[in-house]
Structure 1
Amino acid sequence: MRFLSYFHDPDDLFYKILTETPIPAELKGSIVAVTPETTIKIYELVRNLGFRIVEGGPYGYGRIVSLKESIKDSNSEYFFVCDFDKMLHWLRTDPEEFKRILESKPRSDLTVISRSPKALETYPKAWTETEHIASKILEKIIGKYVDLMNGPYILNRKAAEIITANSVETGVGSCAEWCILASQARLNIGVINVDGLTWEDPDRYTSSISKYHNFEEWKDITFDSLYEWRKRVEFLHKQVEVMIRLNEEPVNPKYPDVKNKILEDV
């Protein structure tokens, strides 16, 4: 299994977390697409922890770049795609579960790593309720309910090469795009539920949380505000736009004849 990720930290919010989180030896050499806006301090720390850095960009772009480079860099038959902040959080909440996922060999071509009901309870309502709508709409297209906007996927090499050859979404809409491309290519889509992916954002806001009476007050004011609901509805809208586009104009994704062809535009 080849791990890969993407990361954005223009404010050094993850410095303390990075210095305190033990990184498994299996992740050394993994490719991480880091945005140009990320500080040099964080960039150097990530590199010194043993990760191989490539230049990233918006969410979907970072995912595709890191996946393409990982295909080129590795003979692995499986690729584990996960947000860098989620990976750090997972290693703190349930490192054994993370290790089990890293060592797994799913039978499905694309496996969506989904949050268990217990994990979902830790997230703000603005997140879970809008994300649930996105998942329900996607279900009408692919015939399966998946935790669409969680982020982590496991892809076998065939799925990875098909998606990198056909993906065009550079933003958050890539979540819906990957699942639909897999479905249109008649790949098998599976689901693995995990407990360790509880809400990761509080990890980097400990100083802000301390200014409130308690954690729930901070969570309600900061992440269940009208502004946050608007932001999350916009994320939902982006997913639906991609779903409509691919549903009305299927791309009929095909397996690339020449594997290196998909790497030419990196």
Structure 2
Amino acid sequence: MSVVLAATHHDPDGRLYQQMVRTFTALKLYFDGIAVLLTPTSVPMTRSWLERAEIALKVAPMNEPIGHLHLGRWRRGAVEVALQAFPTAEWFLFCDLDRVLHWIEYWPDELRIMLDDLSAADVTVFGRTPRALATHPQAQVATESLVNEVFRRTTGQAWDVMAAARGLSRRAATLITTASRDDSIGADCTWLLLAQQSGLTLTYRATEGLEFETLDRYTDEVAVLGSAQAWRDRFDADPRNWLMRIDLARTAIAALIENR
């Protein structure tokens, strides 16, 4: 069974560079190919390094909108790059690069188990265990839990759908790139609705490795503040972060309503 990684990557300040360099050799051993859709505003050293990494790399044009509200467009684009670059690949893991770098560095055995089981369904939704979800700031936990609850009430599936990691058969990946029109973060939900409505099989796996990966790029700040919890508390103390997360949840729920 051939498995290709389809990933987006955004690193405008280079904070993910060292982790990428440190873990990429191991990452390549887990996949038969890697495709990355890179933002044009990522630091030049990241682009240069990935150009030499023997992967399928596409750098998006400068006018491509970047941000949480455009994540569906980027994620669909990464899957399209993977489909085109690896025409014989049978299975794909879509995952933002920062998340999969954390996953392989801290939970490599779990990642291997999950990849080996991709053929269980056309779409595998990778969510978070209660412990893994609780490692995130409360602004993220509270609002993503709302989306998960609406998804449960809409589909009957009590899944954590907002970690944005998906196992995809080639059929599912092709469906997403040709039929999905959701450019927003709502694609975390609407890809699943589209697959379900098209008669594809879906399954769910809760993981530890999709715990809060953002701290990997802020180890200096965590050291100054004294702990990961102190960093999360600082994040939650800023009402703008709550507003941003509420807006993302509203966007995802609106997409669910529109596409159910």
Give the TM-score range, shorter chain. 0.7 to 0.9
Partner of 2:100, secondary structure, is: helix
Q: Which moved more, 1:93-102 or 1:148-157?
A: 93-102
Once the two structures are superposed, the pairs formed by residues 26-45 of structure 1 within 5 Å of their partners are 26-27=30-31, 29-45=33-49
2:72 equivalent to 1:60: yes
Change (3 A) 1:224 1:119: farther
1:124 pairs with 2:137: yes
Q: Is the CA contact 1:122–1:198 (under 8 Å) kept in the aligned structure 2? A: yes
How many residues are aligned here? 247
Q: How far, CA to CA, are the matches of 2:221 and 2:43 in structure 1?
A: 21
**TM-score normalized with structure 2 length:** 0.88
- Are the aligned partners of 2:37 and 2:81 in contact in 1 as well (CA < 8 Å)? no
**Identity rate, percent:** 26
Query: 1:83-129, CA deviations, whole angstroms, 9 ceiling, x for partnerless residues?
Result: 10001101111111112222323322211011112212211111112
Does 155-164 or 88-97 show the bigger shift? 155-164
**SS of residue paired to 2:167:** strand
User: 1:190-231 CA distances to partner (integer Å, 9 max, x unpaired)?
Assistant: 101111222101100011222224332221012453221111
Q: What is the deviation of 1:146?
A: 1.7
Judging changes above 3 Å, is the alpha-carbon distance between structure 1 residues 224 and 151 closer, same or farther for their aligned structure 2 residues? farther
What per-residue deviation string (whole Å, max 9, x for no partner) do you get for residues 1-56 of structure 1? 22111111111111121222243324464110001111211111223333221134
Q: How does 1:20-31 map to 2 (within 5 A)?
A: 20-21=22-23, 22-27=26-31, 29-31=33-35
The farther-off stretch of 59-68 and 130-139 is 59-68
Spell out, residue by residue over 1:208-259, the C-alpha distance to the aligned partner (whole angstroms, 9 max, x if none). Answer: 2222243322210124532211111111011012112213xxxxxxxxxxxx
User: Hey, what does 1:153 align to over in structure 2?
Assistant: 166
1:6 and 1:215 mapped to 2: Cα distance? 25
Indicate if the aligned counterparts of 1:114 and 1:147 stay in contact, CA closer than 8 A. yes
* CA–CA distance in structure 2, aligned partners of residues 43 and 29 of structure 1: 18
2:203 counterpart of 1:203: no
Write the letter of the residue equivalent to 2:129.
S
CA distance in 2, matches of 1:37, 1:155: 28
- For the 8 Å contact 1:67–1:160, the answer to whether it is kept is yes
User: Which residue, out of 79, 99, 111, partners 2:92?
Assistant: 79
1:258 counterpart residue number: none
Following the alignment from structure 1 to structure 2, what is the Cα–Cα distance between the partners of residues 137 and 118? 21
The two structures have a TM-score, normalised by structure 1, of 0.86
Is 1:177 paired with 2:190? Answer: yes
| Kept after mapping to 1: 8 A contact 2:215/2:228 | no
Corresponding residue number in structure 2 for 1:104 = 117
Q: Which residue of 1 aligns with 2:243?
A: 230
Matching residue within 194, 217, 221 for 2:234: 221
CA distance in 2, matches of 1:238, 1:117: 24
Label 1:79 to 1:158 Cα distance change in 2 as closer, same or farther (>3 A): same
Q: Is the 8 A contact 1:28 1:50 kept in 2?
A: no
Q: Is contact 2:129-2:206 (8 Å) kept?
A: yes
SS at match of 1:211: helix
- SS of equivalent to 1:106: helix
Residues in 2 aligned to 1:12 and 1:223: alpha-carbon distance in whole angstroms: 24
